[in-house]
Amino acid sequence: MTTIITFIIVLGVLIFIHELGHFAVAKWAGVGVEKFSLGFGPKLFGFTRGETEYKVSLLPLGGFVKMTGEGMDEEVSDDDREKSFTHKPLSKRVAIVAAGPIMNLVLAVVLLPITYMIGVNVPAFLERAPEVGIVIPGEAGDNAGLKSGDIITEINGDPVEDWEALVMKIALSPERELKMKINRGGEMLDKALTPEPSKSGAGIGGFFPYIVPSVGSLHKGYPAEAAGIQAGDTIVKIGDRSITDWTELEDSVKKSEGKTLRFVVDRDGSRLSFDIAPKLNEEAGVYLIGITRASDMVFKRYGFFSSITHGVSKAGEMSSLLFTTLKGLVVGDYSLKTLGGPIMIAKVVGQAAENGFSELLTFVAFLSLQLGIINLFPIPVLDGGHLFFFGLEGITRRQLNERFIAMTQQVGLVLLLLLMVVVTWNDIMRLEFVDKLTKIIGF
């Protein structure tokens, strides 16, 4: 019940902010607003003030602002002509329609810095000295000549005190050479690193810190649990290979081809040995023993200016992720089965709320950003579709045929309904096979 209530509140905030944008700019432009509704369908409650009826309706998956003279074929009296939407200059109509998604974008940019000021959970290694742990062969760090154990002290003359500063500099410098000073066993060396661009556009260095191979949890039905591995154990050796990092653990297990391996673990200072034969996960196509990494997070608050920097950067990352995902869906890199609908969103909202107010705000910002960007796409029915028609009107110097607009909007509505069916079906399938999916993503 708490999850459902939180979901409705979150959705209500996003819809309210969106419709408030349309409403406020319409009032500024002198357009009459007849109705301001949160939700669709039968009215639950509301009131009328001035010319506007404010109401909350039964179905919370949207909302609308009904303006005077909104449709080109709508009859408008001479008295109402001055406040008719259709009879306003093109520039004002564009501003009214664009205001909704812009308000969602503004909300995201405002909320993200606030989350950093409140405090967020970040990986503990970000506060550690930037010592190189794993270098991926053939990637940027390897090409720059970095080695495990190197400590990066400067980038382009600026001191680098921790992994957080290092990650930020690399992320903001895709395909730009960075001059680095490193400490290798007391010897100072100069290296040049050119970060490679990731799918999201951020730079990646191709090297990582050491991630302690400690067990966080175990999955039922997998060999680690059956062998006696426990949460809190640290894997120190597999066969003849010493394990100092989680990636080394993953590599050994995935390359095992199901052969029995001897695992040596540290448990409260004692060394214990276990013989484990990794199990093939047919859905994922890899060998697993059924463990997840122990969480290594710390709670951190940021100052005002630092919060703004991190918040804007996070908004950029989220936007890039959205466009990357959409591109992947179009070219076939991603399946439609990866899309989620209201059920999945409600579940994630509930989980975020359980993890703290900051986590909830971050997810609200993420949803608001997506809502704002997607609403600007030139798809009939969406705000972007209206803006596209306004663009054609500006080019042709005349309003488009009402019948043509109505037909395209019907097509757009059908496509959106089909999408809703797909994502809702995906949600139902996820609920049905939740145990199976847990096994797929578990290590």
Which H, E and C letters describe the chain, residue by residue? CHHHHHHHHHHHHHHHHHHHHHHHHHHHCCCCEEEEEEEEEEEEEEEEECCEEEEEEEEEEEEEEEECCCCCCCCCCCCCHHHCCCCCCHHHHHHHHHHHHHHHHHHHHHHHHHHHHHCEEEEHHHHCCCECCEECCCCHHHHCCCCCCCEEEEECCEECCCHHHHHHHHHCCCCCCEEEEEEECCEEEEEEECCEECCCCCEECCEECCCCCEEEEECCCCHHHHHCCCCCCEEEEECCEECCCHHHHHHHHHCCCCCCEEEEEEECCEEEEEEECCEEECCCCEEECCEEECCCEEEECCCHHHHHHHHHHHHHHHHHHHHHHHHHHHHCCCCHHHCCCHHHHHHHHHHHHHCCHHHHHHHHHHHHHHHHHHHCCCCCCCHHHHHHHHHHHHHHCCCCCHHHHHHHHHHHHHHHHHHHHHHHHHHHHHHHCHHHHHHHHCC
| Average pLDDT rounded to a whole number, residues 138-167 | 90
| Average pLDDT rounded to a whole number, residues 11-38 | 92
How far is the C-alpha of 419 from the C-alpha of 65, rounded, in Å?
24
Tell which residue, 347, 310, 377, has the closest CA to residue 115: 310
| Average pLDDT rounded to a whole number, residues 244-261 | 87
- Range from 260-264, 330-334, 427-431 carrying the lowest mean pLDDT: 427-431
What is the architecture of the domain spanning 125-208?
Answer: Roll (2.30)
The rounded mean pLDDT for the chain is 83
Residue 216: both structure tokens together: 């966080």
| Average pLDDT rounded to a whole number, residues 303-330 | 80
Per annotation, catalytic residue among 19, 70, 164, 248:
19
Residue 443's pLDDT is what? 38
What confidence tens digit (pLDDT) does each residue in 45-64 have?
999 998 999 999 888 778 88
pLDDT-derived band at 431, boundaries 50, 70, 90: low
With 60 as the cut, is the pLDDT of residue 363 above it? yes
| Average pLDDT rounded to a whole number, residues 14-38 | 92
pLDDT-derived band at 415, boundaries 50, 70, 90: confident
Sorted by sequence, the CB contacts under 8 Å of residue 251 that are 6+ apart come out as none
Task: Give yes or no on whether 125-208 and 215-293 have one common fold.
Answer: yes
Q: From the centroid of its chain, how far is CA 45?
A: 34
Residue 436's pLDDT is what? 40
Task: Please report where in the chains the tokens 């010592």 appear, as a residue.
Answer: 131
51 is catalytic: no
| Average pLDDT rounded to a whole number, residues 124-142 | 86
| Average pLDDT rounded to a whole number, residues 168-181 | 87
Tell me what percent of the residues of the chain surpass a pLDDT of 70: 86
With 60 as the cut, is the pLDDT of residue 442 above it? no
Q: What residue type is assigned to position 179 of the chain?
A: K
Residue 73's pLDDT is what? 67
Residue 220's pLDDT is what? 85
Domain boundaries, the chain: 1-119+304-408, 125-208, 215-293
**Phi/psi of residue 135, each to 5°?**
-110, 125
pLDDT-derived band at 273, boundaries 50, 70, 90: very high
Residue 235's pLDDT is what? 93
Query: Is the full-model pTM beyond 0.95?
Result: no
With 90 as the cut, is the pLDDT of residue 267 above it? yes
Residue 87's pLDDT is what? 84
CATH number of 215-293: 2.30.42.10
pLDDT-derived band at 422, boundaries 50, 70, 90: confident
CB 116 within 8 A of CB 311: yes
Residue 123: both structure tokens together: 């990986």
| Average pLDDT rounded to a whole number, residues 178-202 | 87
